[in-house]
Structure 1
């Protein structure tokens, strides 16, 4: 394995682990207090009341499943992460468009980030920046061109 391939592999691994770490940090506090997280979801006004609690449970479970799959090296983890990022970016953009001044809910109820940075715009920027390692992981996993030695990944 060449030096370039080793570096590429380590950047890929670190990118997956970074995404997995963020998903764990986001999912665990939400799952620990789904009722409070349901209130945060409700503040966006996107879902009827009867869907708030199921959504407050399903989202963090999906984040934790994505994290587990990312650590295992499964591409399904990338796809789940991409789906979640699309949803999160869309919801944050909607909240900013409405001019909401609410907790983004990204890292669960009582999110310290919200208190420190007052939220939605910073959360949107963070999610957009997380698309960089995610895109790299997709590129690494699904690149169609042969690598330097003419081999497929």
Structure 2
């Protein structure tokens, strides 16, 4: 017989793993095209008007590398992956909100420099909604991580 609650514990572990894999998959899918053509991604970043010209290419190189690092940390079940993903999503949500506020009609640059969602769905709003929805698996990952930590230290839930 299984101990009481072990089925739900296994289920939450799989849900946590699924949430992390989903986030990691999205971040991997997003970073790879940008890593292959950083100059094109730098042009997308320039369209937001937030950075001086000399920072565009360095950011276009570093940002996808940070996305890759976040994905790898998530896949390795590291809490740092959750924190890095949270920081990245916070930045992305802020930048997208800024672009919407200004009324920019540009490619969000989320998945590549030629993101097809821009022409199909008015890029920035759809990207913002998607990023806000990504907070759901991220929040679950944090909840699972912290609830697992509290039960390891003998605290009651």
Could you tell me the TM-score, scaled by structure 1's length? 0.93
- Partner of residue 70 from structure 1, selected from 71, 74, 84: 74
Residues 50-72 of structure 1 deviation map (CA, whole Å, 9 limit, x = unaligned):
00000001110000011011001
* Cα offset, 1:115, TM superposition: 2.3
Q: Quote the residue 1:22 is aligned against.
A: 26
Is 1:35 equivalent to 2:39 in the alignment?
Answer: yes
> 125, 128, 137: which one pairs with 1:124?
128
- Tell me whether 1:95 sits opposite 2:99 in the alignment: yes
Match of 1:3 in 2: 7
Distance apart, 1:33 and its partner CA: 0.6
Most deviating of 125-134 and 2-11: 2-11
* Shift in Å, 1:89: 0.2
C-alpha displacement of 1:145: 5.1
Q: C-alpha displacement at 1:142, in angstroms?
A: 1.4
- Measure, in 1, the Cα distance between the counterparts of 2:84 and 2:60: 17
Aligned to 2:83: 79
Which of these residues, 12, 15, 20, is aligned with residue 16 of structure 2?
Answer: 12
Mind listing any 5+ residue stretches in structure 1 that lack a counterpart?
A: none
Find the structure with the greater CA-based Rg.
2
Length-normalised TM-score, structure 2: 0.91
Q: CA RMSD in A?
A: 1.6
User: Residue 61 of structure 1 aligns to a residue in which SS?
Assistant: helix
Q: Does 1:135 align with 2:130?
A: no
Gap regions ≥5 residues in structure 2 = none
Distance 2:31 2:103 in 1: 26
